[in-house]
Structures are given as structure tokens and as C-alpha cells.
Amino acid sequence: GKWSRLAAQQVLTQDQLLEFDPLGNVTLIHITDVHAQLKPLWFREPEVNLGVGDVAGLPPHVTGADFLKLYGIDSGSPHAYALTYEDFTALAGTYGRMGGMDRVATVVKAIRAERPEALLLDGGDTWQGSLTALRTNGQDMVDVMNALGVEAMTSHWEFTLGIDRVNEIVESLPFPFLGANIFDAEWDEPAYEPYKIFERGGAKIAVIGQAFPYMPIANPGWMFPNLSFGIREERMAAVVQEVRDAGADLVVVLSHNGFDVDRKMAGRVPGIDVVLTGHTHDALPEPVMVGETLVIASGSNGKFVTRLDLDVREGRMMGFRHKLIPIFSDVIAPDADMAAVIDGHRAPYQAELDEVLGTTESLLYRRGNFNGTWDDLICNALLEEREADIALSPGFRWGPSLLPGEPIRREDLMNATSMSYPAAYRSEMSGELLHTIMEDVGDNLFNPDPYYQQGGDMVRVGGMGYAIDVSKPMGSRISNMTLLKTGEPIDPAKTYVVSGWASVNEATEGPAIWDVVEAYLKRHGTVSVEPNTSVKVSGA
């Protein structure tokens, strides 16, 4: 309630959140996977985040009470609220919303006031994820990140604006758009700048960009037809060598590989000092060490900013100090200049953003390896509005949460669905194809070799239950697929009506997913999403 909230705010102060005993001569500031979230929000961290093979039980595959224990965080504390899912609704009431790019601007300015040469790096997934980013083709985010003073970025969802728009923005940026692993598909030549060398604190800092490796697989390749991505470990090794030969004292990889891919790459490519990882949306309060390489995970949705101070001398990293700064929006004052930029972009859409479409009685969240309530709601809408037997909703990791009792405004719906290929298709699929799809997506998540993982969560399913053994190889993880409305097993030879959205296929037909969910919300008024008990997980 109000009293506890006031008390909590008295405990937390902006000075405490920013407190940092400076170290060395170099400061890096990292923010990633903002997904166009300009305003403070709720974002529940995952309850289920399984690691397989060598990384089982290692961060970031630690959640809830185990996470608190691992990092020595008190349950019920501000950090428990920011970093874990437990007691989320109650703690949200206590500590308030997180993020907001005007608060992020305050933090960045404060760090720069102390360390004028601090280097601000954006890990990508910046230009997509909201109504205003969709309507302005990413321009709101470009203007915000320019105002924030970003000095280099890498990318993933950026490319879903289409190659022409991406290149138009890249031309306009006052900083490089880095991607050592982005190649022209025809002649196999680098398509974007691979790295930039900055001179800061008397040191030469090479920042190498690594874009999301599975761009044309996880997102519609036809939107950027002449580009090839991939992990390209040998290319990374060659670029690290190139920047070392050019005199770099510190090598930083600004990566959108996802955590496990970066951990593997850091262990195999010599000469990387720091990996600023992104894509899998993990928020870790301490760096993970891979040999002498720091892997830093700065969360998503503007919830956190990482400050990393480094002592770089004689061509070596001699020491570091790190802080994952949680952006408590009621504690950190908004920066007025940034607030004006944000409000300027939102003003033309304000009425649309604020329109209430319904109310939720349940906590709505997405993040987690398997079904979350936001996607269960989307699946329910697809089943009803598209008259389908089975609904599929992609395992995206973006999309904020909503608390029980809150109105669902158009802004909230768009925060969970906003994208450039939203068609809600309706098609017939055999039980066999459905099984193939489930196995295929499962392998993208649970292949024991991280280089074969794509960094999304499991496809969310409505109207169908299944069991998954994450320890099994591809083709034998998924069993007991059941059509919920009849309780009958899915028959490989039978055909089912399936509705889903965000198909990577060109010319997919159907209404936009947000129109489907809006129609559903308007018919139901108030929605309540029951806990999903139809996905049985084992092998972890």
C-alpha cells in the first residue's frame, strides 16, 4: 500500500543507486534490449529459465529463491523485486515501476559528470516494441538514443524495419552501427562497420559489434534479403586480432549473441576483455568470468544500466568494478530534457495509447521459457476470434507485465505485440507438422550446444497441452501432445486449424494480432487468465 511504498522510497535514494567508488581510467556504460520502452513499466523476470548441458544451473539459468541465495540478496528487498519473479505483484506495489528513458538519462548524465569520457554502448533491440516505435518506424527511439549520447550500437530487431529504413537510419546516426558478423549475402563481404576504436582515459578501446546471429531464421529474412549473419567465430577471432594489431589496449565485444552463445564464444576466441551481452534479456548483478573475460548482462526494457569501471594500462585490463544499476522510476528523478523528447514523440498518439481496451484480473507477464499469462491471453484471443483448435504465440522475450486489477490500455497491448509482421494467420496443419514445429523450436532453446540456440523462449501454445523433456535430443523432447478441448491425443495424420502470429513467411495473411486481441478484450471486458497447467516440463 501507500505507506509501505513511501517507506521503501525513503530507504532507496538516487544517490545510493548511483553510488560507485570509481576505479581506473575507463568507464563503460551498457544498456541493451530496451525494446522501445520509453516509459516506466512493470517487468517480471522469469520463473523458468533452464540451461542445458554444461550450463545447467549456472547463471543466467538461476531464478527465484536460488538467484537470491546465489547473489546474497534478501527476499522482499528492492533487488529481489528488480531481479526475480517471486512475490512480484506485492513487491511491485512496494517499489513501483522500473525504467523510463528519462530516468536512464539521469543515470547516464550522472556517470558522465563523474567520468566525462565514459563510453555509452547500446546492445540493440532498441527500435522495436511499442506503438510509437511502430508508427514512427523507429524514429522515436533513434532520437531518444541520440539524445542519450549513445556512441555505438549493434542490432537485432532493428532489421525488422526493413533494410531500406535501417540503412536510412544508419546513414543518419552520429555513431557507428556495428556488426562484424553481418555480410552481404551475394559477395560475402562485410556489410556494416565491424568495430570502432575509441581513445578514452589514455587507452585505446576497441568496440566490436556482433549482431544477432540468427536474424534471417528467427525473423523474416525477406525484409533484409541480401544480408547474411551467423556466429562466425573465426571472423570474430580475426577482428579481435586486427584490433589488437591496431594497438587496442582493451577489446570489448558489444554483442547480441545471447548469454550462452557469448559465454561459449568468450571461451573460444582469445583476446576479448569484456563481452557486453544482450538478446536473452538476462539481468545479472555480477559479471560472469570466462577465463579472464568479463561477460556482462544488463537486462532489458530499460530496467537496468550497467556501469563498468576498468583499469586499463600497458595494453591490459588490470582490474574492474561493476554495478548493475536498477532504474527505480520513483526514486531516480526524470531528466527534463529527455522527458521532453519522449513526450514530444508520444503526444500525437497519446489518446490512442491511453484508450482502455479491458481490465485484467490476473498478473500478465511473458518472460519465462514456457507459457506466460500474456501469451495465454493472446492464445485465448486467437482461439476464439480466429475459431481455431490450436493457437501458437512466438516465444518472444520482450513485452512488459501488467498487475492484477490494472486496465489494459492500447499501449500495453502494443507493448506486447508491436512489430512489422503482425498478421494473425489461420491455417490447417497436420498433427505431424505440429510435432515437428514443437521439436524444432524446442531445439532452438535446448540444444546443448549454445551455438545452435537462437535465444528465444519456447513457442506458447493455446488449445493444446504437451510434455517436454529438455534433456532429450531433437525429435524426442516433445510427447503427449493433447487437444485440450476434447482431451484426445494429437493424431499425426489428422488436420487441425491453427492460428498464430508473427510468421516469418512473406505474404502471410490475416488481421494484425493487436486487432484480434483488442476484439477479444472488448467482448470480454475483464479477463482472467488461469494458471497454465497443460505444459509438463522434465529433464531439468
Residue 195 near residue 182, CB atoms below 8 Å: no
Give me the least distance between CB of 102 and another protein, in Å please: 25
Task: Residue 500: name its binding partner from Mn ion, another protein, none (Cβ under 5 to 8 Å by kind).
Answer: another protein
Cα separation of 156 and 167, whole Å? Answer: 14
Residue 45 lies near Mn ion (rule: CB under 5 A): no
Cβ proximity to another protein: between 231 and 470 the closer is 231
Cα separation of 208 and 244, whole Å? Answer: 12
Residue 156 lies near Mn ion (rule: CB under 5 A): yes
Among 102, 122, 125, 375, binds Mn ion (CB under 5 A): 125
Cβ proximity to another protein: between 97 and 367 the closer is 367
Give me the least distance between CB of 259 and another protein, in Å please: 10
Cβ proximity to Mn ion: between 125 and 282 the closer is 125
Q: Which amino acid is at 531?
A: P
Task: Residue 374: name its binding partner from Mn ion, another protein, none (Cβ under 5 to 8 Å by kind).
Answer: none
Residue 44 lies near Mn ion (rule: CB under 5 A): no
Tell which residue, 168, 170, 161, 222, has the closest CA to residue 418. 161
Task: Residue 530: name its binding partner from Mn ion, another protein, none (Cβ under 5 to 8 Å by kind).
Answer: none
Q: How many residues bind Mn ion (CB under 5 A)?
A: 4
Give me the least distance between CB of 471 and another protein, in Å please: 19
Q: Which residues contact 446 (CB under 8 A, 6 or more apart)?
A: 50, 52, 453, 470, 477
Question: Which chain residues interact with another protein by CB under 8 A?
Answer: 33, 125, 156-157, 185-188, 212, 214-221, 228-231, 234, 258, 279-281, 392, 394-398, 425, 429, 433, 436-437, 440-441, 443-444, 449, 451-452, 454-457, 459, 474, 500-505
Task: Residue 221: name its binding partner from another protein, Mn ion, none (Cβ under 5 to 8 Å by kind).
Answer: another protein
Task: Residue 234: name its binding partner from another protein, Mn ion, none (Cβ under 5 to 8 Å by kind).
Answer: another protein
3-state DSSP percent of the chain in helix, strand and coil, to 5:
35, 25, 40
Q: How is residue 451 annotated by DSSP?
A: G
> H/E element holding 316?
strand 316-326
Cβ proximity to Mn ion: between 96 and 258 the closer is 258
Residue with the shortest CB distance to Mn ion: 125
Tell which residue, 527, 126, 477, has the closest CA to residue 358. 527
Give me the least distance between CB of 410 and another protein, in Å please: 24
Residue 303 lies near Mn ion (rule: CB under 5 A): no
Give me the least distance between CB of 91 and another protein, in Å please: 24
Tell which residue, 328, 395, 324, 379, has the closest CA to residue 517. 379
Residue 33 lies near Mn ion (rule: CB under 5 A): yes
The CA angle 423-531-87, to the nearest 5 degrees, is 110
Residue 282 lies near Mn ion (rule: CB under 5 A): no
Tell which residue, 300, 306, 304, 302, has the closest CA to residue 323. 306
Q: How is residue 330 annotated by DSSP?
A: T
Cα separation values, 458 from 91, 113, 310, 388, Å: 27, 43, 37, 20
Cβ proximity to another protein: between 64 and 220 the closer is 220
Task: Residue 454: name its binding partner from another protein, Mn ion, none (Cβ under 5 to 8 Å by kind).
Answer: another protein
In which region does residue 500 sit, left (phi positive, over 0), alpha (psi from -120 to 50) or beta (all else)? beta
Q: Give 245's Cβ-side CA count (13 Å radius).
A: 6
Task: Residue 201: name its binding partner from another protein, Mn ion, none (Cβ under 5 to 8 Å by kind).
Answer: none
Cα separation of 105 and 389, whole Å? Answer: 47
Give me the least distance between CB of 223 and another protein, in Å please: 12
Among 79, 97, 232, 279, binds Mn ion (CB under 5 A): 279
Residues near Mn ion (CB under 5 A): 33, 125, 156, 279
